[in-house]
Amino acid sequence: MSNDITRRKFVKVTTTAAGLTVGGALLGGCSAGASASSAASTTTESTTPGHMTNGWPKYQNAMSKAQKVDTAPDDSEALATFVVVSDSHLSLENQDYVDRVDNMFKDIAQFCPDKAAIIVNGDITNSGSMEEWQKFAELAEASGFKYPDDFVLVIGNHDQFDSSGGTRAVVNTSDNFREQVGLTNQPHPYYDRTINGVHLILMGPDKFPDDSWVKFGITDEEVTWLDNLLDADLDAGKLSFVFMHEPLYKTVRNTEPGDWGHAWSLSDEDNDNLHNCIKKHPNVIFFTGHTHALPDTVQIEGEEPLYVGTGSIAYCVDDADDDTTGSADISEYGSLGWEVTVWETHIRFRMRDFLNHKYSDLEYAVYKF
């Protein structure tokens, strides 16, 4: 396992940021334009002005062995650039969370107005209510984005269960999520889409044994669906970009035994079942949230994929011992995510500090595959 996974770098990200002014209309916006697809349908290709559309990320060697390089190709040659964030926890009961989502959108409108899509890797809302989804859409549109067209959304445990102490069952909040992403014609929350040649596979728990926000799992049917998609990409020489809110054990930060991302994630059986599928595919980049840890990229010896932690917008904790219960004083913690740029043979990860409206020097990586 790489040094990155065990490193616990103490960083208290200041919230004393300079004021941010968003002036004028958004230039081009994040125009994804792709339609969701269920397990029984095919993905839909979309295009974004300013990006090449005649290629795709080409698998050559296992992503766990991808070479880290100092420089990336020219941005004008990129297939697509995505903003990847997670854990915004938008709650009408917590103005701090609302403010951080609003700040994130204003910052994205400034530093990446022409990105292919904004990918939110779960826990978009705090209790899965339609009122929270409406507020999320309102804030996005106030900064010039089109909702939901400019977004790719992944279900998180807070999106699938009413954690506010209310009475909404899992099935009702999951219905709300599927309505947001256009999946009302299917019972499960997972789907895939292709944007500018980049194949995005969006996973989500599809079983809830105790109707609880901490008891959830991945069925064999979903793992089989994933396995088939990954095999098809591998046969075609393509990379697969897989997103799931819950992390796998011992991968990204805060997933070691005793950590939040280990103790409060999938069951041991479901973790092993999904991990066995993922780790045998050399063409996979696997993005996960849930931990609220600093974003990271991890190459693990003996495994094939590249693992990516997607940080948190609500509050990003500094190490595994910090508060991840939702009662933390978020003023002490950062609001961090990724700008991910994809070429046919390279991928670049630049950490974005949304509070201070700049790229962070904590994590930066370019992989040549």
How many other C-beta atoms are found inside a 10 Å radius of the C-beta of residue 84? 24
24, HSE (Cβ side, Cα atoms, 13 Å): 6
> Which residue stretches of the chain have pLDDT < 70?
1-54, 161-172, 209-215, 320-321, 323-327
Instruction: Output the CA torsion 234→50→119→140 (10° steps).
Output: -160
First to last CA, the chain: 19
Q: What does each C-alpha distance from 287 to 36, 41, 55, 332, 354 come to in angstroms? A: 19, 23, 22, 25, 19
pLDDT reported for residue 25: 29
The token pair that represents 216 in the structure block = 């959830």
- Backbone angles phi and psi of 175, in degrees to 5: -60, -40
β partners of residue 125: 90
For residue 19, what pLDDT is reported? 34
Laid out side by side, the sheet with 191-195 consists of 191-195, 198-202, 240-244, 284-288, 306-309, 296-299
**Contact indicator for 298, 251 with CB cutoff of 8 Å:** yes
Q: At how many degrees (to 10) do helices 95-111 and 130-142 cross?
A: 30
DSSP 63-86: GGGPEEES----GGG-SEEEEEE-
| Residues forming a β-bridge with 342 | 80, 347
pLDDT value for 107: 98
Beta bridge pairs of residue 339: 83, 350
Handedness of CA 131, 123, 324, 350 (dihedral sign): negative
The helix (run of H) or strand (run of E) holding residue 351 is: strand 346-353
